[in-house]
Structures are given as structure tokens and as C-alpha cells.
């Protein structure tokens, strides 16, 4: 089982995913998947980042270009943000309705 602690090295992740470390460096340079860095400036991947890498690789296998992958990930993040905002606003509206009904 993978831990959420960011301690997987680039070599470990490359071996796990069956890709060259250079490909992981490129994804980092393109700001598609940016792992945390150790004090020695070595990349340290979390389980979430490894899962994101799997998504990126799957999209690439489907023919999506790296700029396309970046855009897809940006749009997914935006959708998540909007869903969170909608949930908060729905909660606020429900509270306001309950308060109005109670008065």
C-alpha cells in the first residue's frame, strides 16, 4: 500500500510506472505533476502524485498531448473548486431557509 507521505524517489516512481525518470522530470518541468522536494532538492512523490501520474500516462496513451493533459488537469481542478463552492453556498442557503422558517 502506498503512503500519502511524499517519500517515493523519482527512481522508485519510474520503476513503479515503467517509465524513464527523464519523462517524470519533463512532467515536472512542464508543471503537470510537481512533487515536493527534499532538503537536498530531490523529488519526493506522494501517493496522490503517483495516481496523478497514472492519469497523465493514460491520457498520453489515448493520444492527448502534454499541453492537452495540462489543460484537462487545470479544468478538473477548476471543476472541483466550483463544486466545493456550490456545496458551501447550498449549505448557507439551507441554513438561511431554516432560520427564516424558524422565525
Any domain includes 27: yes
Domain housing 30: 10-102
Any domain includes 81: yes
Average pLDDT, the chain: 93
Any domain includes 2: no
Residues 15 and 17: their CA atoms lie apart, in Å, by 6
- CATH number, residue 60: 1.10.1660.10
The average pLDDT across 16-42 equals 95
Among residues 70, 51, 47, 48, the alpha carbon closest in space to that of 60 is found at 70
Any domain includes 69: yes
Any domain includes 4: no
Q: State how many domains the chain has.
A: 1
Residue 67 contacts residue 31 (beta carbons within 8 Å): no
- pTM to 2 decimal places: 0.76
What pLDDT band is residue 31 in, cutting at 50, 70 and 90? Answer: very high
Any domain includes 64: yes
Any domain includes 68: yes
- pLDDT tens-digit map of 3-20: 556 689 999 999 999 999
Amino acid at each position: 500500500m502506498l503512503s500519502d507521505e511524499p517519500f517515493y524517489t523519482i527512481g522508485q516512481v519510474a520503476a513503479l510506472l515503467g517509465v524513464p525518470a527523464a519523462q517524470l522530470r519533463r512532467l515536472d518541468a512542464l508543471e503537470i505533476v510537481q512533487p515536493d522536494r527534499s532538503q537536498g532538492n530531490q523529488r519526493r512523490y506522494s501517493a496522490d502524485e503517483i495516481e496523478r501520474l497514472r492519469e497523465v500516462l493514460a491520457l498520453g496513451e489515448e493520444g492527448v498531448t502534454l499541453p492537452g493533459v495540462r489543460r484537462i488537469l487545470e479544468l478538473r481542478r477548476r471543476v472541483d473548486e466550483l463544486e466545493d463552492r456550490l456545496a458551501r453556498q447550498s449549505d448557507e442557503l439551507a441554513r438561511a431557509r431554516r432560520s427564516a422558517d424558524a422565525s
